[in-house]
Structures are given as structure tokens and as C-alpha cells.
Amino acid sequence: MLGAVVGDVVGSIYEFRGLEDKNFQPLVHPAAFFTDDTVLTVAVADALLHNRDVVEAFKDWGHRYPDSGWGGRFAKWLFSDETRPYGSYGNGAAMRVSPAAFLATSLDEARRLARKVTEVTHDHPEGLRGAEAAVTAIFLALQGERAHTIRAQIERDFEYALPPSPEVIRPSYVFNETCQGTVPEAIVCALEARDYEDAVREAVSLGGDADTLGAITGAIAEALYGLPDDIGRQVWKKLPREMRVIIEQLYAAKGAVLPVG
């Protein structure tokens, strides 16, 4: 889960800038910050850990951090009395689901939890597909599956035509906030990377929705390669205490070591 948060923070200052160069320095810019991607990832973890109503958790955490760069339709839902889903297929469905993969004990459970935390807002088939594809990649990586195996299962189960590499994606890629225009690209950046840092650099430098590409890729890459403690520490200190508590609880529930040194 912290891998998703790190990806969000790394990409936060490059959204709308069309970076298109993965050698940007430093990886975690001093001015980088967490966005709505992190807030909702924490909200999902809170809901699943404490058996909270998902809508309640989203509204609670969203109201704590009202200036987090919310998408227009989600913001309208968040700051209203509405509790019904609104048919979205935005990439927000996939950027927040990593806790579902982390807490699940089977792939079926991971997908069920992903659907549970997604359908409250993003109930469009593409939104649900994006969330379940992301959680599948993360869960399989946590189980030790190789990148080529994960690729084959994603292509088979979700009918995504995954490009062979980020280099193939980059020349024609444009800013895209849909699941179908973000999730496949993020998965490729994770699967074709050398390590965690390389994966996030590839994702952020595609020139698209940088923080969300970073969050989705970062979650998968943490599961595949591990998150280096030095990178985790840089982002950890940018998070408020109440977020740290939820993240600590998630790793403790999994019996995993929190990668912050």
C-alpha cells in the first residue's frame, strides 16, 4: 500500500506537465505532496480494516482533506448528501484498491473486496474492470508470480491488450483519466521495470495523469520488487499522523514490515 502512496507523491508535481523523461531528479521532490489518491487509499484501508461502511469512510477522509485535487464528479458526490454511485469509469477506481489486495487471502477475495470498495462510486463496467485488474496484478505479485505470468492473466481475464513496454506507449500517450486509458499502461510500467524506482519513473514520465499512474504502478511495483526503505522514509514524513496510523495497522494486519526503515 505504501508503494501506491509513494507513487502518488512522486507524480503529484508532474500532473498536466507532460514530463516524458524518466530521469527527472530527485525522485521525491521537496515540493511533492499527497493527493486524493493517497486520501482514498487510506480510506479504503480504514474501511476494510475496521469494517466501516465504504461510503462513510470516503466521506469522512475526504472531508478531512478537502483540498486534495478531487476529480470534478467525485468532488460533487463527496461534498453532497448523495450516497449512490454515479456510473464513473475514471481511474480513481484503480488508484485506491491496493489495500484490498494486501488484506485478501485469495484472488477471488481480492477481486470481491475491490468490487466492494469500487462500486459505491465507480459502478460503470470499465471502472469495475480497472479496479479488479489492478488488484489482480497486485495480489498475484504478492504471491510471488513472475511478471510474464501476471501479464498473461491480466490479458486473459480482463481483455486488456497490454503494450510490450513503456517505450512503446510514451510517444503517442496523452493525458487520460479513464480506467481503460490508465490501468493497462500502469500495469505495463510495473511489469517491465527493473525495480520499484524504475517502475514509478516510467509511469510518471508517460506524460499523463502522473500521480494516478504513479499510484497504480507503485502498488504493483511494491508487490513485485519491494519498496526501498530510503524512498519510503522520504514520503512517510510527508504524511499526517492519522494516515500513518492506518498504514501501520494495515501492514501489521498482514504481518508485513513497513518499508520506512
Q: Residue 19 pLDDT more than 80? A: no
Residues contacting 64, CB < 8 A, separation 6+: 39, 242
Prediction pTM value:
0.97
Q: What pLDDT score was predicted for residue 208? A: 83
Task: State the maximum Cα–Cα separation within the chain, in Å, rounded to a whole number.
Answer: 45
Query: What are the backbone angles phi and psi of residue 90, rounded to the nearest 5°?
Result: -70, 160
Could you tell me which of 261, 175, 183, 253 has the C-alpha nearest to residue 219?
Answer: 183
Tell me the per-residue pLDDT of 216-252, one tens digit each, with 9 for 90 and over: 999 999 999 999 999 999 999 999 999 999 999 999 9
CATH superfamily placement of domain 2-254 = ADP-ribosylation/Crystallin J1 (1.10.4080.10)
Could you tell me which of 55, 133, 142 has the C-alpha nearest to residue 104?
Answer: 142
Tell me the per-residue pLDDT of 97-138, one tens digit each, with 9 for 90 and over: 999 999 999 999 999 999 999 999 999 999 999 999 999 999
